Amino acid sequence: MNNLNEWQEKDLKYIWHPCSQMKDYEELAPIVIEKGEGIYLYDTDDKKYYDVISSWWCNLLGHCNPKINAAIKKQLDTLEHVIFANFSHKTVINLCERLSKVLPAGLCKFNFADNGSSAIEMALKMSFQYHYQTGNPQKKRFMALTDAYHGETIGALSVGGVDLYSEIYKPILLDIERIEAPDCYRCPYGHLHGECDCPCIEKAKQTFEKFGNETAALIVEPLLQGSAGMKIYPPLYLKKLRELCDKYNVHLIADEIATGYGRTGKMWACDWAGISPDIMCLSKGLTGGYMPMAIAITTQEIYDAFYADYLEGKAFMHSHTYSGNALACSAACAVLDILEEEKIIEKAQEKAIYFHNRIKEKFANHKNVGDIRHIGLINAIELVEDKAEKRAFDSKNRYGYQIYKKALKKGVLLRPLGDVIYFNPPLIIEKPDMDYVIDVAYECMCEVLD
């Protein structure tokens, strides 16, 4: 720690970083970023880093995108923020109007928050209150999948299922009915991904049979369980969950915070299954990674259950200071402009084929690569101790973390999920950058494991 620069010393003096054991920073000091451009970040020594995890999956169109920059600057000269109760502004109205044209059918009412976890909290509360006010007060339960991640406030953490984040807080969490999630890599039925009729839905059917009449909502990450290690399940499974929700009058909440905005190759992950949720939560790519903003979007039917004379006490009494922030909305409108005008998602899906094929060519034959899975530009490489038995490494070895540290020295930002190396780059990444980050990741993996 004797070689720290002035900014690193100040950082360690004042800042408690998220999802970090700060003692690790004694060995790996915080990297202070000076500027960003495209998929690149530059630190205070002008060293370049390839941001292939999109700064926690939110940077959709590259750092300092000139069109988003210009939109925010223009908005800044007009209105920065206004209370969103009984007040509104043109930028947020335009955003909702434009989103309503590309959302799954039926989603039409927008309730704003300032982060993804809060949008999840809103969705859970909306669902409970809807059932309470429509003659089903017994519907007090929530269902979620194992290995789910939905955020880190208490309600969001409750429906999550990754012990790394929630284990210590279990005494204060909500009691959730947990459905065993599909595991296409270690399928208990012996099937391959996408080559079955999803017999694992039986686990969900059993849970619905037992608790469906008491359940308000089922919340899922559509197709992609991100924090679980980029676990991917078939669209058919999601479609069957929708059918179960319809049968038992249970809301389906789609957490598209990490999967929306083209991350899976379509605008929404739900589009792959051809289904519409009752509530959809958005954040991350919503503003291109520029500004904190989230939305819980729902149907006219759910909205109508809250519409009454004030004294009936049916209003949704949930608010955030920065709801509908004008600067964030200007960024979100610019994102939609760019996606539409430059056909970003279509181009990204073409590049995704090249990216995945290169990753398979490079990694597939390594003795410790158990699985390579992908959807859209997202690719995940699961490292295992025994390839034949699919046996994981002892987590105490922290092999993923060791690979992360080596990659940083070579200018690539990976930040694996345990022993799962993954790529989730901005949608604008080009082939030369794909080649470089793949080569670096492979070199670092071999240096650690070989």
434 lies in a domain? Answer: yes
Q: Convert the pLDDT of each residue in 195-251 to its tens digit.
A: 899 999 999 999 999 999 999 999 999 999 999 999 999 999 999 999 999 999 999
What is the rounded average pLDDT of the residues 3-9? 90
- Identify the H or E element spanning 391: strand 391-392
pLDDT attached to residue 157: 97
pLDDT attached to residue 142: 98
Residues 256, 349, single domain; the answer is no
Domain CATH number, residue 440:
3.90.1150.10
1 lies in a domain? Answer: no
Angle ∠(284,286,288) on CA atoms, nearest 5: 75
pLDDT attached to residue 385: 98
What proportion of the chain, given as a percentage, has pLDDT over 90?
Answer: 98
pTM, full prediction: 0.97
- Of the residues 341, 370, 403, the one at which a domain ends: 341
Q: 2 pLDDT band (50/70/90 cuts)?
A: low
User: Which residue reads 């290690």 in tokens?
Assistant: 229
Residues 109, 56, single domain; the answer is no
pLDDT at 328 over 60: yes
Q: What is the DSSP letter of 82?
A: -
Give how many domains the chain has, as a whole number: 2
- Identify the H or E element spanning 251: strand 251-255
Q: Convert the pLDDT of each residue in 9-61 to its tens digit.
A: 999 999 999 999 999 999 999 999 999 999 999 999 999 999 999 999 999 99
Residues 290, 382, single domain; the answer is no
Q: For the beta carbon of residue 231, count every other beta carbon within 10 angstroms.
A: 26
- Of the residues 341, 366, 387, the one at which a domain ends: 341
Residues 353, 337, single domain; the answer is no
Residues 139, 167, single domain; the answer is yes
β-bridge mates for residue 218, sequence order: 143, 252
Look up the domain containing 363 and give its range: 31-64+343-449
Residues 321, 337, single domain; the answer is yes
Residues 233, 180, single domain; the answer is yes
In three-state secondary structure terms, 343 is coil
pLDDT attached to residue 450: 87
Let me know: does 158 contact 173? Beta carbons within 8 Å.
yes
14 lies in a domain? Answer: no
Residues 154, 187, single domain; the answer is yes
Measured CA to CA, the distance from residue 251 to residue 242 in angstroms comes to: 9
- Of the residues 341, 376, 408, the one at which a domain ends: 341
What is the rounded average pLDDT of the residues 440-444? 98
20 lies in a domain? Answer: no
261 lies in a domain? Answer: yes
pLDDT attached to residue 390: 97
pLDDT at 1 over 80: no
Mean pLDDT, rounded, of the chain: 97
230 lies in a domain? Answer: yes
Residues 193, 337, single domain; the answer is yes
Measured CA to CA, the distance from residue 297 to residue 293 in angstroms comes to: 13
> Which among 113, 73, 58 is positioned nearest to 284, based on CA atoms?
58
What is the rounded average pLDDT of the residues 133-142? 98
The phi and psi torsions of 142 (rounded to 5 degrees) equal -130, 145
What is the rounded average pLDDT of the residues 258-262? 98
Report residue 198 as tokens.
């999803």
H-state helical runs in 101-200: 116-133, 154-159, 163-166
The letter for the amino acid at 189 is: Y
